[in-house]
Amino acid sequence: MHQRNVIMFSKSCEYAIKAMIFVAQKSSEEQRIGVKEIAKGTDAPEHFIAKIMQDLSRRKLIHSIKGPNGGFYMDSHDLKNSIADIVKAIDGDSIYTDCVMGLKACSEKNPCPVHFEYKEIKKNLIKMIEHNTLAEFKEKLESGKFFLKNK
Amino acid sequence: MHQRNVIMFSKSCEYAIKAMIFVAQKSSEEQRIGVKEIAKGTDAPEHFIAKIMQDLSRRKLIHSIKGPNGGFYMDSHDLKNSIADIVKAIDGDSIYTDCVMGLKACSEKNPCPVHFEYKEIKKNLIKMIEHNTLAEFKEKLESGKFFLKNK
DNA sequence: ATTTTAAAAGATATTAAGGTCTTAATATAT
DNA sequence: ATATATTAAGACCTTAATATCTTTTAAAAT
């Protein structure tokens, strides 16, 4: 048996989603959040999350400014991004395209044994990640009904 | 971006599921299937699938006999196993227990931001793997409506 | 009993994911 | 202008998953 099985998202992607939600909550154009704070707020290793933030920044999902009082922040446009946008940036679109059995040839006309059943599940999965935007999380989390931290 | 993202099942587990379906179809107490044939029938590397078959055998999901005319086969009891049983044997029960965001502390009382939405999806996912038994696949595949091969 | 065949077991190799550290670039404050 | 703080980039390390190869064990056929 294997140690850890990735369900849905890679570890990088999990960190990315948590970091984005964290920054969405705390930041503004004036108030930027540094890597150290993000690492603490999301229980992620500092240098590793730094790499991930770079990716997200390069892909224009978040803004960054170097130097004193620098850090990461989101503008109102960034807040419109959904979990799906983060997943696509970090893990690619395999969640949209891949057969759950890993069959490259699997399709509507050449379906694997669970193709049609999984199709429905996948639809709901995609709905879930697409309709949850960072702006909505900001609201949800402010209400105190949800949690991000792991300890 | 990462090369390959595991959705749901590890590669080993994908091979295991395919191999079990393959043997379910072809084998009987008298007619055993060897590793080479399984590897060909599922597009899996021979030595790798051999390891996986060992695991499945050790966990009593399949029967094996050594020596001339030896190989793997299933009895009627083995055919009652579901995909879920295979997944649990190879990947463990993380699909049942883990938070989709990877949060160890996530629970009904301390939910992550997508906890309740994912709960429904997870329920359907579990239903899918639990209600599909090897015996049912045997029927389905015999009807020629589904495929396993990848090329 | 001996030989043959095939799985079981174990050792080793490769690749990808995850994680750390060092240096460079750059924005800001002084 | 200079010093400082902070992200960006790149090199490197570690671990787990995936894959391969070799040796051992055991069943069956002769």
pLDDT at A151 over 80: no
Q: What is the pLDDT of residue A139?
A: 82
Dihedral (CA of B92, B86, B8, B35) sign: positive
Distance C17 C1' – B31 CA (angstroms): 41
Residues composing chain B:
151
Render B58-117 in DSSP notation, one character per residue: HTTSSEEE-STT-EEE--TTGGG-BHHHHHHHHHTTHHHH--TT--TT--SSS--TTHHH
Q: What is the pLDDT of residue A150?
A: 73
Q: Where are the domains of chain A?
A: 11-142
What is the pLDDT of chain B when averaged over all its residues?
A: 91
Asked whether residue A43, judged by its CB, lies under 7 Å from any atom of the DNA or RNA strand C, the reply is: no
Q: Which of A10, A101, A124, A136 best tests the B interface by mutation, with the highest count of B CBs <10 A?
A: A101
- Under the banding of pLDDT at 50, 70 and 90, the label for residue A4 is low
Higher pLDDT, B9 or B145: B9
pLDDT at A145 over 80: no
Please indicate whether, in this complex, the C-beta atoms of A132 and B141 are within 8 angstroms of each other: no
% of chain A surpassing 70 pLDDT:
95
Q: Which of A42, A123, A147 best tests the B interface by mutation, with the highest count of B CBs <10 A?
A: A147
CA B136 to CA A47: how far, in whole Å? 49
CA B41 to CA B43: how far, in whole Å? 6
Question: Under a CB-based contact definition with an 8 Å cutoff, are residues A47 and A83 in contact?
Answer: no
pLDDT at A2 over 60: no
Q: What mean pLDDT do residues B105-113 have? A: 91
Q: And the tokens for A51?
A: 């790499």
pLDDT at A138 over 90: no
% of chain B surpassing 70 pLDDT:
95
pLDDT tens digit sequence for B54-85? 999 999 999 999 999 999 999 999 999 999 99
Q: What is the pLDDT of residue B86?
A: 97
Q: What is the pLDDT of residue B3?
A: 54
pLDDT at A6 over 70: no
Max CA-CA distance within chain B?
58
Closest chain B C-alpha to A61 CA, distance in angstroms: 14
Q: Which nt sits closest to A91, CA to C1'?
A: C17
Please enumerate in sequence order all residues whose Cβ is within 8 A of that of B89, keeping only pairs 6 or more positions apart, or say none.
A1, B16, B55, B56, B59, B61
Closest chain A C-alpha to B33 CA, distance in angstroms: 21
What is the pLDDT of chain A when averaged over all its residues?
A: 91
First-last CA distance in chain B: 27
Backbone angles phi, psi at A82, to 5 degrees: -105, 170
CATH topology for B11-142 is Arc Repressor Mutant, subunit A (1.10.10)
B102: contact with A, CB 8 A cutoff: yes
Nearest-by-Cβ selection for B113 from A13, A102, A146: A146
pLDDT at B9 over 80: yes
pLDDT tens digit sequence for A10-23? 999 999 999 999 99
Question: Under a CB-based contact definition with an 8 Å cutoff, are residues B53 and B38 in contact?
Answer: yes
Higher pLDDT, B57 or A29: B57
Burial level of B45, CB count in 10 A (0-12/13-18/19+)?
exposed
pLDDT at A141 over 90: no
pLDDT at B150 over 90: no
Please indicate whether, in this complex, the C-beta atoms of B124 and A120 are within 8 angstroms of each other: yes
Backbone angles phi, psi at A31, to 5 degrees: -100, 100
First-last CA distance in chain A: 27
The answer for B 47-66 residues in CB contact with A (under 8 A) is 55
Q: What is the pLDDT of residue B151?
A: 64
pLDDT tens digit sequence for A69-119? 999 999 999 999 999 999 999 999 999 999 999 898 999 999 998 999 999
Please indicate whether, in this complex, the C-beta atoms of A121 and B125 are within 8 angstroms of each other: yes
